[in-house]
Amino acid sequence: MTASTVHRDYVATLSHMRDGFLQRYDSEHLHAVDNTEAIRKATVWRVTAAATIDERTWLQVLVDDVAIDSEELGTA
């Protein structure tokens, strides 16, 4: 019997601040073995999803609707 690697479901989101709240404008579902792999995959996705970020934007990585990582990408 071989051991299988368990992958968790994550969501990477790009959000802008609107009226004091982060509002998603793009997202991607990811599968990863741990938080480190999910953050790495989210960073790679961000490069292809947002070629130009011209305002304050946040990349967040969520698992079970809880942010495990948040990075501010743009400036106002």
Domains of the chain, residue spans: 8-72
Token pair belonging to 59: 């990349």
Percent of the chain at pLDDT > 70 equals: 86
- The model carries a pTM of 0.81
**CA distances for 62 relative to 8, 12, 54, angstroms:** 11, 6, 23
Q: Under DSSP, is residue 69 helix (H, G, I), strand (E, B) or coil?
A: strand
Question: At 11, is the pLDDT very low, low, confident or very high (cuts 50, 70, 90)?
Answer: very high
Per-residue pLDDT reduced to its tens digit, 19-35: 888 889 889 999 999 99
